[in-house]
A and B are shown apart, each in its own frame.
Chain A
Amino acid sequence: MSIIENHQTDGAPFSDNAKLRARNVQVFYGEKQAIHDVSLDIGANEVIALIGPSGCGKSTFLRCLNRMNDTIDICNIQGEILLDGENIYDPKVDVVPLRARVGMVFQKPNPFPKSIYDNVAYGPRIHGLASSRVELDEIVEKSLQRAGLWNEVKDRLHSPGTGLSGGQQQRLCIARTIAVDPEVILMDEPCSALDPIATAKIEELIDELRENYTIAIVTHSMQQAARVSQRTAYFHMGQLIEVNPTDQVFTTPQHSLTEAYITGRFG
């Protein structure tokens, strides 16, 4: 298959109340173009799911949103990504506080080799978000509560984070992300490595987190996308094919490629 020439994204890629705006984003890994002219708004306090077959560019695009692709030497990005109207790729932008504002949760839970408490406290410490131990304790407790983990760990905060189960570790990573008071949380297949019960808990958590954060989630599970998101964006060969309300995408998708992918005619 080849890319579609002059493709305009079907559906509703733009929002009035956008937290993040991507405009004409192109991403190259060396000579190879991975993202072709993607423009997309992510609305404030929405959960948007990014779906598509392996290699379609959804994770590459997600990593653009907090400049994680900067860590890849051969990666080159063109276009604009605006966070509250300011271009995050402006040379004046400091990526460290950016990545606190736009946090990320990865596929494989990656707690630091520290205690549960220190995993969550690490970010606030280095960003200077707490002026006292009492404040830090409050941040840790609030973050663990918001991540749905407090009751399970409150009596063992100083035990190793790596000693938790997979699902608990992932919630610890979410708590760590929340602790630095982000505005956006990016999730790259956060449940792929988890069992069904842990997955269900994370999905429920995503719904609760929406109240305070904007969330973009890459997922290979279409049922998960259907359950957790309000809008779904379908990527194909680096192009953004369609963006629509989630229930519409999964019942009456606009583009034939979206239909073919979600009905399992290719992938």
Chain B
Amino acid sequence: MEMNFNQHISGQFNADLEAIRNHMMGMGGLVERQVANAIDAICSGDTSSADDIIRREDEVDKMEVAIDQECTQILVRRQPAASDLRMVLAVSRVVRDLERMGDEACKIAIHALEVADKGRSEICQQAIRYMGAEVTKMIAGALDAFARHDVDGAIEVVRNDKLVDNQYAAALRELMTYMMEDPRSISQAINILWILRAIERIGDHARNISEQVIYLVSGEDVRHSSLTEMEEQASKDA
């Protein structure tokens, strides 16, 4: 008799695990849109979506709490082991990072409104566009890697985070130049600084999600490992 190891004996357990995965992806989709809309608001100067982003932040928070409670219930009822345990822990950690991304998107929207209030700024626009596009791709990449249990895809996100960090450092230098050259720009520059910081933090959270993908697939906790160490571990496991 062929044994099917894809399904638990308990259909309800299957459904519970499927639910937290789907809900997490749903939350990921919402956060991805929040971030993309927030970047667009600052880059285009059209802040009409900013209020909507700020309002929807509450929805993101509620999703984090709800999914975490679902994870808790699975731990209580099923005492999952092995890959199931790693899945529940990974989902619980990922929703926390998604919620933080939501917070950062909200901050970007708030500062976009302040920038627009003071008049459109061209400071660091290229950096914001580049970093914004990168982190939006990283969120999609990390969630996709989670869905497909793709370690290589996760490591690619970690690589891109390094690029974002480098771009952030360069943008900071550019900002300081602006402020030194024209002290009247300091007020706007500080808003831009917070926006750049928020984008950089979103990249970090996407990296954290990728680390959870690696944990989910291989059982290795790479939360404080370097990119090189992750790549070495991945080639050992391959």
Pairwise interchain contact B3-A263, C-beta atoms closer than 8 A: no
Beyond A1-B1, A251-B219, is A265–B82 a contact (Cβ under 8 Å)? no
Residues of B within 8 A of A161 (CB): none
Pairwise interchain contact B81-A265, C-beta atoms closer than 8 A: no
Residues of B within 8 A of A266 (CB): 3, 5, 9
Beyond A251-B219, A252-B219, is A222–B5 a contact (Cβ under 8 Å)? no
B235 at the binding interface (Cβ < 8 Å): no
Pairwise interchain contact B81-A263, C-beta atoms closer than 8 A: yes
- CB-CB contacts of B81-97 with A at 8 A, as 1s and 0s? 11111100000000000
User: How near does chain B come to A55, taking the closest CB pair, in angstroms?
Assistant: 15
Pairwise interchain contact A256-B81, C-beta atoms closer than 8 A: no
Out of B5, B79, B86, name the residue touching A265 (CB < 8 Å).
B5
Residues of A within 8 A of B6 (CB): 265
Residues of B within 8 A of A260 (CB): 3, 5
Q: How far is the CA of A264 from the CA of B13 in the complex (A)?
A: 9
Pairwise interchain contact B82-A253, C-beta atoms closer than 8 A: yes
- CB-CB contacts of A222-243 with B at 8 A, as 1s and 0s? 1100100000000000000000
Q: How far is the CA of A263 from the CA of B78 in the complex (A)?
A: 9
Pairwise interchain contact A264-B10, C-beta atoms closer than 8 A: yes
- CB-CB contacts of A244-263 with B at 8 A, as 1s and 0s? 00000011110010111011
Pairwise interchain contact A223-B5, C-beta atoms closer than 8 A: no
Pairwise interchain contact A265-B9, C-beta atoms closer than 8 A: yes
Out of A1, A251, A267, name the residue touching B82 (CB < 8 Å).
A251
Residues of A within 8 A of B85 (CB): 250-251
Residues of B within 8 A of A251 (CB): 81-82, 85-86, 219
Which B residues between 54 and 89 are near A, CB-CB below 8 angstroms?
Answer: 78-86
Beyond A251-B86, A264-B13, A267-B9, is A222–B81 a contact (Cβ under 8 Å)? yes
Residues of A within 8 A of B5 (CB): 256, 259-260, 265-266
Pairwise interchain contact A264-B9, C-beta atoms closer than 8 A: yes
Main secondary structure on A side of the interface with B:
helix
Pairwise interchain contact A250-B81, C-beta atoms closer than 8 A: yes
Q: How far is the CA of A46 from the CA of B6 in the complex (A)?
A: 34
Pairwise interchain contact B84-A263, C-beta atoms closer than 8 A: yes
Residues of A within 8 A of B3 (CB): 1, 260, 266
User: How near does chain B come to A200, taking the closest CB pair, in angstroms?
Assistant: 15
Task: Give the interface centre of B13, B80, B81, B84 by most chain A CB atoms within 10 Å.
Answer: B81
Number of interface residues of B (CB under 8 A): 21
Residues of A within 8 A of B9 (CB): 264-267
Residues of A within 8 A of B84 (CB): 263
- CB-CB contacts of B1-45 with A at 8 A, as 1s and 0s? 101111111100100000000000000000000000000000000
Pairwise interchain contact A263-B83, C-beta atoms closer than 8 A: yes
Closest chain A residue to B80, Cβ basis: A263
Residues of B within 8 A of A223 (CB): 79
Pairwise interchain contact B82-A259, C-beta atoms closer than 8 A: yes
Closest chain B residue to A264, Cβ basis: B8
Residues of B within 8 A of A256 (CB): 5
Closest chain B residue to A259, Cβ basis: B82
Residues of A within 8 A of B82 (CB): 250-253, 258-259, 262-263
Closest chain B residue to A1, Cβ basis: B3
User: How near does chain A come to B31, taking the closest CB pair, in angstroms?
Assistant: 28
Residues of B within 8 A of A263 (CB): 8, 80-84
- CB-CB contacts of A151-188 with B at 8 A, as 1s and 0s? 00000000000000000000000000000000000000
User: How near does chain B come to A245, taking the closest CB pair, in angstroms?
Assistant: 13
User: How near does chain B come to A29, taking the closest CB pair, in angstroms?
Assistant: 23
- CB-CB contacts of A1-36 with B at 8 A, as 1s and 0s? 100000000000000000000000000000000000
Pairwise interchain contact B79-A259, C-beta atoms closer than 8 A: no
Q: How far is the CA of A250 from the CA of B80 in the complex (A)?
A: 9
Q: How far is the CA of A226 from the CA of B5 in the complex (A)?
A: 22
Closest chain A residue to B78, Cβ basis: A264
Q: How far is the CA of A252 from the CA of B214 in the complex (A)?
A: 13
Chain B residues within CB distance 8 Å of chain A: 1, 3-10, 13, 78-86, 218-219
21 inter-chain pairs at a CB distance below 8 angstroms, sorted by A residue, are: A1-B1, A222-B81, A226-B81, A250-B81, A250-B82, A251-B81, A251-B82, A251-B85, A251-B86, A252-B86, A252-B219, A253-B82, A259-B83, A260-B3, A260-B5, A262-B82, A263-B80, A265-B7, A265-B9, A266-B3, A266-B5
